[in-house]
A and B are shown apart, each in its own frame.
Chain A
């Protein structure tokens, strides 16, 4: 399967700080998705991106579809304790065939 590299692998931040993470691939993707997974639960879709250069927001979350179509970025502004979890990027390679990044573990310190 495809390998999507996500960085950083983990983050420890103070409440109120902004967070940035990114995902890169050697392949061109048609769609980029960002998920959050809490312990013991399935991943929950946060943001979907469909076009190169697209910038989309969902509350305090903003994500961008890289212009090369090989990368994507997720930013979280003014972090709060409930932002804790593991964030995954996912790319759609061939049309409805999704591959996942390695994940970024976020810890927010109150």
Chain B
């Protein structure tokens, strides 16, 4: 499986500011996603990061609030804009790969996540 690195791993931010989270993968991947996990909750898909084109957002998430870049097949960024305390969450980068080089694809792997606290 791919190794996925996220930065920052955690941050404390002031209300009204914006923060950009970086995701670096050690191999080229076609599919890359951003998820949000609010405290004590499950994972919610924010958007699919498309290489060379605008991200595809899920219902309830908009580009102005969560702009995403995907300049190449190994890197993506998620910005959380104009943050409020409700944005305090873990933000997770994920990619589709396969276990052990099997022919099966469609397995989702995650980075360690970026834990944001907004004051």
Contacts and interface: CB of A to CB of B under 8 A. Distances in A.
Contact of A98 (B4, B60, B99, B108): B108
Interface of B: 1, 4, 31, 33, 35, 41-45, 48, 58-60, 92, 94, 96, 99, 104, 106-113, 115
A108 B28 CA distance: 39
A31 interface: yes
Contacts of B35: 100
B31 A96 contact: yes
Interface string A29-60: 01101000000111111001010000000000
Query: Of A31, A97, A99, A102, which is in contact with the most chain B CB atoms at under 10 Å from its CB?
Result: A97
A45 B108 contact: yes
Contact of B108 (A33, A50, A95): A33
Nearest to B60: A1
B43 A88 contact: yes
28 contacts: A1-B44, A1-B45, A1-B59, A1-B60, A31-B107, A41-B112, A41-B113, A42-B92, A42-B112, A42-B113, A43-B43, A45-B107, A45-B108, A48-B106, A48-B107, A50-B106, A90-B43, A90-B108, A92-B106, A92-B108, A95-B106, A96-B106, A97-B48, A98-B45, A98-B108, A100-B35, A100-B43, A103-B41
A99 B45 CA distance: 7
Contacts of A66: none
User: 3 nearest interchain CB pairs?
Assistant: A42-B110, A100-B43, A96-B31
